[in-house]
């Protein structure tokens, strides 16, 4: 059967025609872009096709339907597989305002513009660009990790919102991953967590094509994947030929029938190398086939050799009859169900609706504490834990946990009814991610694209272990809240392996990421409030282990200034400072102390609290000038971290007090002296800065 001929095809032939359409669209798009991976989409086309056409509960007419099945392409380099499928299924575009449009998310024109500037078909799938892309993938392993968070989210939503006769949430998550994904640590951590939590709504399809970029996969990968996943507590099944749609169908059925654990389907496939003579070649793939190979490959598929971007008659209709019809019916039934649910349970329905729009419930900030002035004070991790415990009661879908440090991070929700999230209680709000920081970050991203507001805690130093997930949250503009405690050498005895130095500077360099390091308990309250309002990117709360004074707000400015990123906390009389002292977090009180001592000496010093550079940079020029007047050149910054970047605020004549080496293992009091984080050092720097500015 040659595509393009005017014969009516049905059944298996039509399936093959659809699969080869996906394949040839991928080939043509990659060839036209002269960039990208054609092989993976060619090999995986039957896997994606049979899932979408026969299994996925997804309505292309309403891709934001909350109860849709999720499809994640963790092998993001196979992006054309996803784009071709979205096009053929006729998935509609949802605009940035969240409105469903009549437009296709991916049109044939967009496929022709694969990997071009401002197209909806970027090199790797970007969820914020292309409707139907559930999460941003490309860095291998991340999509797999995200899918575990999506499965957690579905389980929590079902346990929290379903009522007898009202199964509002019962969707599944399907993930295609390759050898690369399964080699990555993050996917291994995530698979371990998923098995432990018995997430039976999760199905990974492993593209066992025995090849990676360098050559045969066995050059670097020889473990028994099936046994490994059995060990994780997964159900494992195998499809020995990716082109066998019946066998694939049976594997999906096995998944759907498995109620007590996640499923791994190992799919033996051959990566598309073009014509058969190239098939067993181990030469590098991951590049366009070249015009000649394109022709040979098409010939091999029974495709017109000269046709480009050919979509034979009947293919789109077939998708409409399959996934389109099934999804449309299911979604219509769900709409009816949800409308009855809204009548019966208006408050729950309201929560679900607000969640979808990333809004907060009314009264989300009620009962928040204020902290009285206290010279001894309280660690910012402590005050943050108190605030979180209030917020989590006000915002039902604020849920999270830590990577085995709940008691240290103070992220445990202790109020009655908070509960633990476990395989036997999916409605709990306390997640135990275990010592799996990277999977925690990836799962948080998956929860976030599922519209929950996840938080996760670990020591600030171990932000390095989940950093790739922060970057992805920033890129895909999803709000996750990282609670990083033990934020400096102030943690003391655990020593330099645990003491962050460069983390503040390096995380401040990540675009669309808000780093918030509040300077006392009341700044913590404001920092959390700010965090709850940030709905398009990650927020990193950076908190102390050690107690720091709670400042007297009747004497100094209100902590509400945190909302502007930086503010004048204490000023010289008449507002004409001789020197500006600025700090974030646990060093703020040193500046306040120095300010008081300088005042006694008749020196006018202004203290600027700077919990967030990113938020401060968003303010208008007049505000920034009012906080840091350009006429005042004598400036000092104090922060228990690398000084990199503070030049921006202290200028060439300023003084920067920070850490220039790794810390040391000792009680904090001793470290404070050794590394010079005392009022005296600040005073000394202030005098130097004043002298230099003259």
Ligand X SMILES: Cc1ncc(C[n+]2csc(CCOP(=O)(O)OP(=O)(O)O)c2C)c(N)n1
Provide the binding-site residues for ligand X, judged by CB under 6 A.
40, 75, 77, 138-140, 178-181, 209, 211-213, 271
- State the minimum distance, in angstroms, from the CB of residue 213 to ligand X: 4
Name the packing angle between helices 142-161 and 467-476 (round to 10°).
70
Q: Which among Mg ion, ligand X, none contacts residue 60 (Cβ within 5 to 8 A by kind)?
A: none
Between 42 and 349, whose beta carbon lies closer to ligand X? 42
Q: Which among ligand X, Mg ion, none contacts residue 139 (Cβ within 5 to 8 A by kind)?
A: ligand X
Among the candidate windows 204-212, 257-265, 430-438, 531-539, which touches Mg ion by CB under 5 A?
A: 204-212
| Residue 209 sits in the site that holds Mg ion (CB under 5 A) | yes
Q: Which among Mg ion, ligand X, none contacts residue 583 (Cβ within 5 to 8 A by kind)?
A: none
- State the minimum distance, in angstroms, from the CB of residue 146 to Mg ion: 20
Q: Which among Mg ion, ligand X, none contacts residue 213 (Cβ within 5 to 8 A by kind)?
A: ligand X
- State the minimum distance, in angstroms, from the CB of residue 269 to ligand X: 9
Among the candidate windows 170-178, 279-287, 611-619, 636-644, which touches Mg ion by CB under 5 A?
A: 170-178
Q: Residue with CB nearest Mg ion?
A: 179
Return the closest-CA partner of residue 542 out of 475, 435, 461, 440. 461
- State the minimum distance, in angstroms, from the CB of residue 266 to ligand X: 13
Return the closest-CA partner of residue 380 out of 357, 358, 410. 410
| Residue 179 sits in the site that holds Mg ion (CB under 5 A) | yes
189 assigned to active site: no
Alpha-carbon distance of 309 to 293, in angstroms, equals 16
Q: Which among ligand X, Mg ion, none contacts residue 544 (Cβ within 5 to 8 A by kind)?
A: none
- State the minimum distance, in angstroms, from the CB of residue 45 to ligand X: 13
Provide long-range contacts, Cβ within 8 A and 24+ apart, for 555-563.
Answer: 555/373, 556/592, 556/607, 559/520, 559/522, 559/523, 559/525, 559/526, 560/526, 561/526, 561/609, 562/516, 562/518, 562/523, 562/526, 562/527, 562/530, 562/609, 562/611, 562/612, 563/526, 563/529, 563/530, 563/615
Between 266 and 636, whose beta carbon lies closer to Mg ion? 266
Our separate counts of H helices and E strands in the chain read: 25, 20
Q: Which among Mg ion, ligand X, none contacts residue 140 (Cβ within 5 to 8 A by kind)?
A: ligand X
- State the minimum distance, in angstroms, from the CB of residue 448 to ligand X: 20
Say if residue 575 is exposed, middle or buried (CB neighbours under 10 Å; 0-12, 13-18, 19+). Answer: exposed
| Residue 184 sits in the site that holds Mg ion (CB under 5 A) | no
- Residue count, binding to Mg ion (CB under 5 A): 4
Between 85 and 212, whose beta carbon lies closer to ligand X? 212
Between 85 and 201, whose beta carbon lies closer to ligand X? 85
DSSP state of 425: B
The answer to whether the beta carbons of residues 314 and 17 sit under 8 Å apart is: yes
DSSP 33-63: HT-S-SHHHHHHHHHHHHHHHHT----TT-T
Q: Which among ligand X, Mg ion, none contacts residue 138 (Cβ within 5 to 8 A by kind)?
A: ligand X
| Residue 437 sits in the site that holds Mg ion (CB under 5 A) | no
Torsion over CA: 304, 308, 314, 320 (sign): positive
Between 66 and 180, whose beta carbon lies closer to ligand X? 180
Q: Backbone dihedral region of 584: left (phi > 0), alpha (psi from -120 to 50 degrees) or beta?
A: beta
- State the minimum distance, in angstroms, from the CB of residue 131 to Mg ion: 28
Alpha-carbon distance of 365 to 369, in angstroms, equals 10
The answer to whether the beta carbons of residues 63 and 91 sit under 8 Å apart is: yes
Which of 154, 189, 382, 437 is the catalytic position?
Answer: 437
Q: Token pair of 269, please? A: 């496939």
Catalytic residues: 437
């Amino acid at each position: 059967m040659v595509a393009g001929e005017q014969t009516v095809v049905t059944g298996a032939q039509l399936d093959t025609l659809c699969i080869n359409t996906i394949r040839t669209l991928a080939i043509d798009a990659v060839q036209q872009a002269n960039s990208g991976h054609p092989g993976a989409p060619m090999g995986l086309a039957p896997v994606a096709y049979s899932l979408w056409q026969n299994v996925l509960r997804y309505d292309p007419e309403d891709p934001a339907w909350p109860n849709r099945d999720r499809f994640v392409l963790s092998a993001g380099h196979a992006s054309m597989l996803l784009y071709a499928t979205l096009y053929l299924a006729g998935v509609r575009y949802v605009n940035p305002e969240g409105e469903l449009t009549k437009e296709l998310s991916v049109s044939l024109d967009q496929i022709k513009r694969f990997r071009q500037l401002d197209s909806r078909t970027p090199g790797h799938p970007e969820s914020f660009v292309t409707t139907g892309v559930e999460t941003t993938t490309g860095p291998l392993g991340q999509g797999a990790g995200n899918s575990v968070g999506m499965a957690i989210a579905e389980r929590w939503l079902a346990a929290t919102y379903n009522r007898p006769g009202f199964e509002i949430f019962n969707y599944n998550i399907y993930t295609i991953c390759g050898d690369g994904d399964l080699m990555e640590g993050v996917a291994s951590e995530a698979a371990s967590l998923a098995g432990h939590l018995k997430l039976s709504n999760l199905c990974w399809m492993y593209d066992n094509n025995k090849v990676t970029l360098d050559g045969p996969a066995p050059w670097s990968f020889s473990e028994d994947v099936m046994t490994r996943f059995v060990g994780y507590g997964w159900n494992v099944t195998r499809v020995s030929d990716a082109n066998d749609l019946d066998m694939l169908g049976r594997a999906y059925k096995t998944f759907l029938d498995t109620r007590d654990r996640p499923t791994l389907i190992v799919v033996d496939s051959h990566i598309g190398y073009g014509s058969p003579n190239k098939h067993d070649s181990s030469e590098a793939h991951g590049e366009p086939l070249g015009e000649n190979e394109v022709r040979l490959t098409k010939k091999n598929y029974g495709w017109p050799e000269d046709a480009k971007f050919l979509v034979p008659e009947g293919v789109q209709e077939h998708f409409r009859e399959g996934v389109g019809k099934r999804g449309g019916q299911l979604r219509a039934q769900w709409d009816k169900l949800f409308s009855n649910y809204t009548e019966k349970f208006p408050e729950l329905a309201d929560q679900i609706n607000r969640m979808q729009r990333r809004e907060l419930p009314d009264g989300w900030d009620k009962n928040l504490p204020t902290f009285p002035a206290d010279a001894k004070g309280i660690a910012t991790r402590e005050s943050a834990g108190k605030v979180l415990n209030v917020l989590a009661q006000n915002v039902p879908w604020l849920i999270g946990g830590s990577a085995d440090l709940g008691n240290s991070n103070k992220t445990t929700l202790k109020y009655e009814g908070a509960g633990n999230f476990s395989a036997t209680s999916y409605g709990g709000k306390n997640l135990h991610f275990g010592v799996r920081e990277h999977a925690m970050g990836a799962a948080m991203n998956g929860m976030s694209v599922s519209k929950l507001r996840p938080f996760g805690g670990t020591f600030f130093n171990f932000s390095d272990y989940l950093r790739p997930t922060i970057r992805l949250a920033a890129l895909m503009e999803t709000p996750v809240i990282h609670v990083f405690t033990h934020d400096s050498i102030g943690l003391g005895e655990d020593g330099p392996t645990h003491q962050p130095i460069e983390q503040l500077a390096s995380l401040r360099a990540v675009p669309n990421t808000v780093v918030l390091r509040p300077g006392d308990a009341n700044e913590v309250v404001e920092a959390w409030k700010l965090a709850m309002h940030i709905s398009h990117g990650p927020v990193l709360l950076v908190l102390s282990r050690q107690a720091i004074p709670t400042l007297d707000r009747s004497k100094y400015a209100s902590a509400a200034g945190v909302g502007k990123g930086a503010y004048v906390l204490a000023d010289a009389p008449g507002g004409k400072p001789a020197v500006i002292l600025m700090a974030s977090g646990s060093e703020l009180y040193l500046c306040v102390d120095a300010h008081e001592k300088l005042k006694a000496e008749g020196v006018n010093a202004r203290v600027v609290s700077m919990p967030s550079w990113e938020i401060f940079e968003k303010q208008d020029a007049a505000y920034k000038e009012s906080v840091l007047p350009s006429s005042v050149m004598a400036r000092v910054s104090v922060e228990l971290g690398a000084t990199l970047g503070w030049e921006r605020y202290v200028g060439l004549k300023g003084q920067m007090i920070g850490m220039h080496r790794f810390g040391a293992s000792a009680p904090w009091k001793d470290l404070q002296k050794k590394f010079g984080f005392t009022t005296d050092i600040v005073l000394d720097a202030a005098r130097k800065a004043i002298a230099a500015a003259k």
